[in-house]
Each structure stands twice: as structure tokens, then as C-alpha cells.
Structure 1
Amino acid sequence: MSRSVISDDGSDYARTPPRLSETRASSSFASPHSSPGKSNSRASERDDNVRVIGIVRPLIGNEIEQNCSTSVVVDSDSIALKDGRQFTFDGAITGTEEDLDAAYDEHVKDIVCGLLGGYNGTVLAYGQTGSGKTHTMGTGGTNPGMASKVFHTLCDIVTPAREEATINIKATFIEIYKEDIRDLLASTTMASPSVVSIREHAREGGVYLTGAQQVEANDVEALAATLNRGIRRRATASNSQNVRSSRSHAIFTIYVEQKVGDARATTAKLHLVDLAGSERVTQQDARGQRFKEGVQINMGLLALSNCISALSDSNRREWGHVPYRDSKLTRLLQDSLGGNSRTVMLACCSPADINAEETLNTLKYANRARNIRNRVTINIEKMSATENKLRQELAAATERIDQLETLVNMLHEENVALKASQSTSSIHSALSELALAGSMSPDMGYGSTPGTPLNTPRAVFTPGQNETPLSELLQSCKRARQRAEILMSAKSPMGTPMGSFKRT
């Protein structure tokens, strides 16, 4: 059953619950851990053009009230204007939930699956105020949109993968408001949100944020709660185009870190970008603060347009300058456009004839973006020269320890065997002396020297000869008996009692 919800432009239109089919990572973006030693090879890189989906929502409340007519026609993968101009994209759909589900399954889901393979991704919504950007992205708090589908897909593939790997998911949510980057998740008041700075990686290139709070969100509920927490703090206002207009660019980023055994960790990030409205300031009937906001919004979007123009021109892309530094927005999106990311742009349009000019501008903008080619590569944790040297030294030390442990075990076994041999020899010596002393008779004697075989006959003892005084023989017998008793009462080398010696 369909139900009515509020779109980002304050109107409502029917939708059906999103369909989330079972998801598995695509083979072309499989996990890199099968060949960790080749993680930085050229084989892990590939070109990936920015994909563009044209989305034309239905007519909404204020357009219907003004008796607006439809000025665009959606046909398969193209959008045609009434004046005859036509734009072809990777997909073109109406704004119904069925079409959005199909577009997600075809163009976005594999980007989400690629996160476990170490590939970055971006889903970016562009268009004028009231064109359905926030509704489509699901970053308005009233509609699940793409964000909800992303959360479910990601958790569907992470759950079984955690049986073999340690996977952590974190999220940040920032907005760019009048060229200030603000952390929407920081524990500060709305009047003074946390200010975030952009930094550049010295060795790897690219940018990262300092001051933005990363929140652990390892399941669908945690991701949704984190998103809604930031939505409540986003800057919005009313203008003639929309009752609740987003006055900032919002970027919700999901970070996925995966580690299998002793292999280096793979990391990936997914930007969900909801840009502010792209219309001209004069159309908003803006005054004062709203006018200043509109100027700043357009400055950021103009810088983005200039970057897209530079990247879509093959000659400028190879040899020219791409003005990423012209705005905070373009600096943050430099990986998404022309960098290391698989990117989908959602070009959101109004069908109303009163918005025909803005719709044309959006379609031109998106058509240029389709020519941008990104260089996509797996993100595997890099080691510094010092760390690499220490790892090599650790491996060598570990190997030496293994060798020494083997040698110690061998010496221990030899020592045990030697002790056992010495103990047996001492017992045999004592028994020999005892046997010699205790078995003497008037007519036969045996060798009394330690080590002399027991069956070796010596001179026959007779009372007349008296070669060995009887008292000495008795003393020798006593000493031998005491020695044997001590040795026989001791434990064997293996810890087993050897028993006691008894005279028979």
C-alpha cells in the first residue's frame, strides 16, 4: 500500500516502501585480500566515468495550483525538452519510488558493495531548490530515500563478511554553510557548531577533515540515528521556491575499515552529498541574510561547475588546471570528481514549465559531468619507510627467535638424556659393589673394583689366605647399600618414582 510523505520541497506525493533485495559484492570489485602483496599495482586501478541519472519528479502542490504544464519528457535513458533539445544519460527516471528503487539497484548498489573491496564512492544530488534532491537522498528526515537503501545494503554485506574479517563502520556529517564547514554531529549548541578544517595528505594526496567527529555506526539503526542527529541541526530556511529550503551543502560520509588476519587494512569511504539549490538568487525574492546565503551557495556551485568543465574537457583534464581550491565544496569533492572514487550524480529536475530554464541548466550541468573520468584504485593502508624498516627488522628477529627456540629444545632433550644415562650408570655401579660384598663365599669371590663385571672370577678366598679383612668387606657392603637406597629412592628424569631397594 502506498502512503503519502513530505518531500524536501514541502509537498507530498505517494511512495511505496523501498525494496531491498539481497546484496553481494560484485566480482569486479572483490575484496583485495586475496593478493595483498599486489595492492598498489596498476592492476588494482581502473578508469570509471561519473555516472549520471536524470530524475524528473511529478508536479507538486504549488505548481499544480499555478496550473503549470509539464515541459519535459522522460524516455528510457534520455530527457527531452519541449523545444526539442534532448539529453542522454546513464539512466533517466521519474521520481516515483519504483523508479528510484530500480535506479538504485542498477547504478548505486554496486558502489556500496565496492566499499568492502576498498573502493571509494560518492552519490551526489544536484538541482534547483524544490527539485527533490533531499527527498531522493533521504537526508531530510521525512523520507528514507537513497540513504536508507545504502545503510541496508552495506549492513547486508558486512554481516557475513565479519565471520572472516574485522570490520568497523564510522560516519561523519558536515555541512558547508557560507564557506564554513560545520560538524553536525559535534556536542555543541546549534548557535555555535563545531568548525571543521580541511587538510591535505602530504604523501598520498587528497584531503581529509580535522575537527569532525566520527561516530561508530555498525548497524542500520546506528547509521540512521547518526544521520537523523545531524539532520536536526542542518541550516534551513523558507524561500519562494520551497517552504523548507536547505541553505547549505550537506555531506554524510560513511567510513569502512576492514582487516583480515595479519594483512594490512583496507579502507573506503562513501559520500552522500545533498547540494544546496542551484537557482539564481533573484528567483528566490531573497533579502538580507537569505540574499547573502544565496550568493555563497552560488559561489560554491559555480566553483563546482568550473571544476566539472575543466574535468570534462579531455585536453584540460590531462594538462590544464582544475580549480579545486576555489571553494570548500570543490576541495572536499576533488576525490569524487576526477579523483579516486566511483561517482553517481543524481540530476534532479522539476517538470513545470515555470522552471524550464533552471531544468535546462541542470541538464547541461549533468551532461558535462558525464564526461568526467575518475581513476579508481583500492585503498590499502600504506606504510612509511620507517614503519616498513621496523616491520622487516621484526620479521628477522622473529625468525631468529624461532631458530633459538629450536636449538634450546634440542639442548634440553640432550641434557635430559645425559642425566638419565648418568643416573643409570651410578645405579649399576652401586649394585655391582653391593653384589660383590653380599655374595662373597669362603670358596669363591667376584671382582670388587667398580665397573668389574659381576661374573668375573677372582682369587678364591680361603680363611688361611685372609686377603681382605672381613671388617672391610662389611663396611664396603654397608656403603654400597646406603648409596643404592639413596639412588633408588630418587625420581627418574621423567618424574616417575623408581622405588626403594630391599635386601633379599
Structure 2
Amino acid sequence: MIFSPLDCAIIFKEKATHAHTYMLTKELIRNARRSSLAGTPYLEELPANQPADLQSRNSNRGGGRGEQVRVAVRVRPRNGNELRQGAQCVVVMNPSANEVRLQGESKPFSVDLPLWCASGDQQAEDGSAPIDQDQIYMKIGRPLLTHALLGFNSTILAYGQTGSGKTHTMMGNLDDTGGVAAGSEGIIPRLCMEMFDAIDKASANRRSAPPAELELTASAPFANPFGIPFPKNQTEFPTTSLAHHTPVAEEQFTWKARVMYFELYCEKITDLLCPKNVVTLREMKEGLSLVDENVHQSGGSSCGAFNVVGATRVPVENWKQVLQLLQLGNRHRRTACTKLNDRSSRSHAIFNIELEETLTILQVDGTSVTAHSKTVSIKLVDLAGSERVNESGVTGQNLKEAASINKSLFTLGQVIDALSANNNNTNNADGKILIPRRNSASSGCGSTSSYLLPPYRESLLTKLLRNSFGGNSKTTLIATVSPTQWHKQQTLQTLQYAARARRIVNTPKVVEDPAAADLRTAQQELLDVRQQLEDARKVGDTVARDLVERLHYSEEMMRRQQQENTRLADDIARREADLQRQLRQAISTEQSYQDEMDAMQRQLEAFRQDNEEREASLIERKAEYESETQRLLTTQLEYDAKQVALAREAADLAQRQVILSQQAQELETAHKQQLVNIARSQQAQEEQARAREAELAARQQ
């Protein structure tokens, strides 16, 4: 037989004289547990010197409520060229009032963190001393790290004109090998060093669950794994002087860290840790999930998120490994020399740290139960600098890079404009950004309501930052500006950009794995049953037997829950291995296809070159053929002309032959006639001679 808590309370009231006190104590315990377990065990207050409006703006501790994007403005010192040419400072900053303005501009810009880094003859308006890299980290990096270890996705972006100090702010002074010069470390190296120190402290400490019967004060916190001081050297929940209480279980948290480092160059993603990898973005559709060591989800939920597929995710165990990976990635990052910066970044770089938190509950009998608790993403973004081509003087490939950079930053600006405009139009109770819908009642074709749809899909950069602007991330935008009048217009645009970003409202929240929540619930029920069993021993064995049965039932349910968690973990591991295998096969297939395409492309290029050569040869031979044809045609014409001439000559000859033949016939006829005449003449002469002879003879006679 199993009793509910209410049944047990009725039995205790009938059989114990201290029933009223017991019920009051149980209610206090229950309320205290609810308030304790609902919050976070290691919440660190923001620094005391943080601006008051920032304390109120970022008061979202439990998560799920609206919180504006934090904006910091860093003014760099004048560089050597500006000092040599006497460029005047036009930026005026008042850190005590959280304001920045430009000379000649009447309206100042309100910011959350004004960072005046100039020195020498440049001073802040209120006389504040310039701050260094360490102070910048304390104001920006440390709060982000605290929020991340509490379970919030977090983002820091550096935005500004090229040469305004973005890479110096995020990384520090880089040498030729990609390393960071000692003493100049920026936010990323300092955050990584402190992160592992905090993780080591947290892993060394255990958070104890409260005893079943005790009086809790309202200010009693959980044990703090990050070494944050407790009042009066307190290290865990205070205990009372009750004679009987149930032994407590302990909760222990461990973390695993992985890092990715990639760049966006001309709308392509390159893995800076392994440039040969093929990296793409994959959109996660609603209802689908993907678990793989080479897939990183950039959004806050599966629906509408864009996953980085194919980039190397390197497990790291200490900050030295992280700095080595940073140095490796920095060597592969694309940079170029321009008129504004000797080492201008030509790509957007994103250094992503993924923290996986595991909850382990240590039972009083020495056994333990483990479940995955949270996965947190820390995005540290060094955006490429916006630039005017006529000022930077870039040409050729650098000009194409500048066009791609400005286009992606413009798209990010459109997203910021849409989100800030939506926030100005309405702030709902939950602080959520509303998605624009068609307004059928509006006049005009295709009219829409006043809400704007952010164009996340128009750029890889906005897809990757989908969760940082309008999502569930705690986001800080660092606007870096130049102090001189040379870049006044660019500085003004940067401040306006930051002011619009400051109006964006995100909904940061801690997303705990359901397995960890179920484990905590089962553990709490087990503690309640054990406490009830302990109390039942005071009032009789009858109730004790029932509570023992309930205890056994709860232990059995917890054992089954653990088995189910183990089964689910094994199933997830199998699915993960299968998905990893499928992904590797897909990547291998894609790579083989890419290799085949490259080979075919090379063959096509060879065929194209051969075709061009043959075409050129054919053109040359065609020209020769046409020339020869023309020559032959000319020869033919000449031949034809000669033939005509010869024909004419032949005709003339034939005619002359006819004439000659006629003449010959005439001559022959004349000759014959002449012969006849001669013969006749001879005959006549002979007759005359005979006649004379006869006459002579006659005379002689």
C-alpha cells in the first residue's frame, strides 16, 4: 500500500502530538526546496562598479524574459600616422554618464559600457583614466563567462571600421605566427584561461541537496562551485539542531569543452583549424534533430536553426590547448595590407566554445546516477571591418573582399534594424520578438503589418548569428571607433549601428536536458520518501511498513528511471555513432564527388584549352584555305580569261584556216588553171612550132 504525502500527514496528525509543528516544517521545507531548485546554484552577481542601468537592464536571472543586447563602445588611441599628422580628436566620452558623442553633434549616444582607451593628451570628459585590456575583460568577458557557466548561450561581437581595434580587443596584438604578444591578450585568451580555472573549481566542489528536515533562511544559497564568497564563510545549506534527519545526496557537475574556429570569406565558410575540410550550413527543420561531433547548432532551437556541418570540433582540457588552436587558426586567417591597416582582416572570424555540463548525483550508499544537463555555446566574433574603398585604396581581389564584407555587414544591419524596429513597435509581456504576418484588412496589394521580418537567410553571417540577435543568447556588441576627425563619418555610422543594436531584445534562458530534470525529480521524491520513513519510525511500525513499501517502490522507479536513462543514453550513443558514420560517409561521398568534379573540371579545362587550340588552328587553316581559295579563284578567273582568249584565238585561227583553206583552194584552182593554161599555151606553141616547121619545111622544099 502506498500513501500520498497528504495521507501520511493525516496519519501523523492522528498519531503524533507534534503534528502541527511537523506540517508547518514540511511546508517550509517544500517551499524552500522549490525556490532553491528553481534557481541556479552558482549565480555570480555582476561587478559592483557596473552601471546601474546595466544592472536593471540585465536583471534576468532565471531566464526566459526579455533582455536587451548590451553595447560597449571602445575608443582607441590615435595611431602613429594620426599623431605624426596632428589629427584632432572629435570623440567625447563621459564614462560616468554612459554617454558618447561627436563634436558637432548635439545628441549623445547612450551605451552600457563606455570604454575610453586613449591616453596622453586625450582624456575622457569626466577625467576617467584610460582602461587597459584587463579592465575590458573584467567588464565584458567575465560577466559573459559567468552567464555561460550558469547555462546561458552567450555572444560577444566586435564591430567597427577597419583599423579601429576589433582584433586587438578580441585577440590582442598578433605576431607573424598567429600568436598573441604577452601582456596584450584580448578577451578571447583571457576568457579561456579563466574558464578552465572556474571549471576546475566547480568540478572540485559538490553541491549538497538540503536535508529533509531543517529550517532554511531566505538568503541561504547553494554551495558555490566557482569560489564566490558566502556570508560568514558558509559553504552549504545551514543545518538545524534536530536530532533526526535523513542523510543527504550530493550533486556534482563536470564540464567538457570543445572549440571551433572558422571564418566567413566571400560568403564561404573555411575551417581555420583544418582548411581542407568542406564546411557548410544546414538548416534544422522543426521536429528533426541531429547529433554529431562535427555538427554545431548555431540557433537556439531546432526550428529555424542553422548548423555548421563539417567544421572541426576539438576537445580541449586546458587553456594552453586553446591558445595553440587560436594560434593555428590565426595563421590561416586571411589578412591584407591597406591604407588604413597594415594587417586588415578580410573575413569574419568566429571562435566558438561549446560547454557540455553533466550532472552526477552521489547517493548516500555510494552509488551515483549521471545525466547530461546542459550544452552552452559561447560565440566570440571578430567581424571584418567596414571600409570605404576610396579610403582603404583596395583593388583587385581585395576590392572583391571589401564588397563581400560590406554586403554581409549591410545584411546584419538590416536584421538589427528590423529587430529594433519591432521592439520599438511593441514590447509584449514575455519580451519576445513577434514575426510579421500578412494583414488581410490592410488596403493595397501585398500589404503587411508593421512588424518586419529580419532577413536572416540573405547572408551566411546572419544565419550564424541568428541566435545572437533575436534569440536566446546573452549578447554584447563592442563597437570600436577611431577618435580622429579623419574617420568621423565612419565613427558616426558605427555609433548609430550600435544604438540600433541596443534596442534589440533577446530572451536568454537556460535550457536543461529533460533527463537531468527527471533525475532531480526522482532524487527529490526519494529524499521525501526516506524522510517520511524516518519520521514514520517515530509513530509506529504500521506506517513504517507502508513507507518501506513506498520507499522500495520509489527506489525501484528510480532504478528503472536510471535504466531508462542508460537505455536512452545507449540509444543516443548508437544513433550518434550511426549519424556520425552517415555523416562521414556523406562527407566522404561529397568529397569523392568533389574530387570527381574537380577531375572533370580539369579534364573540361584541358578539353577547353585543346578545343581553343584546335579552334585557333582551324581559324588559321580556314584563313589559309580562304586565301588559297581566293588565289585559286583568281587563277581560275585568269585561266578562264586565257581560255576565252585562247578560244577566241582558236576561232580566229579556225576562221583564218578557213580563209587560208579557201585561199589554198583558190590558189590550187588558180594553179590548176594556170597549168591548164600553160599546157594549152605549150600545146599552142607546139602547134605553132610544128606549123612553122611545116612552113619551113614547105619553104625549104
> Which bracket does the TM-score occupy, shorter chain normalised?
0.5 to 0.7
Partner deviation per Cα, 1:399-433 (whole Å, 9 max, x = no partner): 5999xxxxxxxxxxxxxxxxxxxxxxxxxxxxxxx
Q: Are positions 1:26 and 2:59 aligned together?
A: no
Query: What amino acid sits opposite 2:487 in the alignment?
Result: N
Q: Are positions 1:154 and 2:176 aligned together?
A: no
CA distance in 1, matches of 2:140, 2:342: 31
Query: What amino acid sits opposite 1:253 in the alignment?
Result: N
Q: Are positions 1:80 and 2:121 aligned together?
A: no
Q: Are positions 1:125 and 2:224 aligned together?
A: no
Query: What amino acid sits opposite 1:234 in the alignment?
Result: R
Query: What is the aligned-residue identity percentage?
Result: 36
Number of the residue aligned with 2:407: 299
Number of the residue aligned with 1:284: 392
CA distance in 2, matches of 1:181, 1:236: 15
Answer 1 or 2: which has greater strand percent: 1
Give the alignment's TM-score, normalised by structure 1: 0.66
CA distance in 1, matches of 2:405, 2:265: 8
How far 1:337 moved relative to its partner? 0.8
| Matched-pair contact (CA < 8 Å) for 1:71–1:82 | yes
| Matched-pair contact (CA < 8 Å) for 2:355–2:377 | yes
Equivalent residues, number: 352
Answer 1 or 2: which has greater helix percent: 2
1:275 corresponds, among 368, 379, 383, to: 383
CA distance in 2, matches of 1:274, 1:399: 48
Number of the residue aligned with 2:334: 235
| Matched-pair contact (CA < 8 Å) for 1:128–1:349 | yes
CA distance in 2, matches of 1:344, 1:214: 24
Give the alignment's TM-score, normalised by structure 2: 0.48
Where structure 1 has 5 or more consecutive residues not aligned to the other structure, the ranges are 1-23, 30-41, 384-394, 403-504
Number of the residue aligned with 1:167: 255
Cα 1:25–1:71, aligned 2, differ >3 Å: closer, same or farther?
Answer: farther
SS of 1:377 mapped into structure 2: coil
Number of the residue aligned with 1:50: 69
How far 1:99 moved relative to its partner? 4.4
Indicate the RMSD between aligned Cα atoms, in angstroms: 2.6
SS of 1:263 mapped into structure 2: strand
Query: What amino acid sits opposite 2:76 in the alignment?
Result: R
| Matched-pair contact (CA < 8 Å) for 1:180–1:195 | no
Query: What amino acid sits opposite 2:110 in the alignment?
Result: T
Give the greater-gyration-radius structure (CA).
2
SS of 1:46 mapped into structure 2: coil
| Matched-pair contact (CA < 8 Å) for 1:26–1:110 | no
Cα 1:381–1:28, aligned 2, differ >3 Å: closer, same or farther?
Answer: farther
Query: What amino acid sits opposite 1:46 in the alignment?
Result: R
Number of the residue aligned with 1:34: none
Number of the residue aligned with 2:282: 199
How far 1:27 moved relative to its partner? 4.2
Partner deviation per Cα, 1:115-157 (whole Å, 9 max, x = no partner): 2222110110000011000001116443411112211221121
Number of the residue aligned with 1:252: 351
2:114 corresponds, among 81, 92, 95, to: 92
SS of 1:364 mapped into structure 2: helix
Partner deviation per Cα, 1:294-341 (whole Å, 9 max, x = no partner): 100001000000000011112384233111111000000011111111
CA distance in 2, matches of 1:54, 1:359: 11
| Matched-pair contact (CA < 8 Å) for 2:76–2:483 | yes
Partner deviation per Cα, 1:197-244 (whole Å, 9 max, x = no partner): 112333423222110101112211111111111001000011111111
Cα 1:28–1:339, aligned 2, differ >3 Å: closer, same or farther?
Answer: farther
Q: Are positions 1:102 and 2:135 aligned together?
A: yes
Cα 1:43–1:133, aligned 2, differ >3 Å: closer, same or farther?
Answer: closer
CA distance in 2, matches of 1:325, 1:401: 42
SS of 2:453 mapped into structure 1: coil
CA distance in 1, matches of 2:411, 2:513: 32
2:420 corresponds, among 304, 312, 319, to: 312
| Matched-pair contact (CA < 8 Å) for 2:284–2:306 | yes
Q: Are positions 1:138 and 2:160 aligned together?
A: no
CA distance in 1, matches of 2:87, 2:562: 81
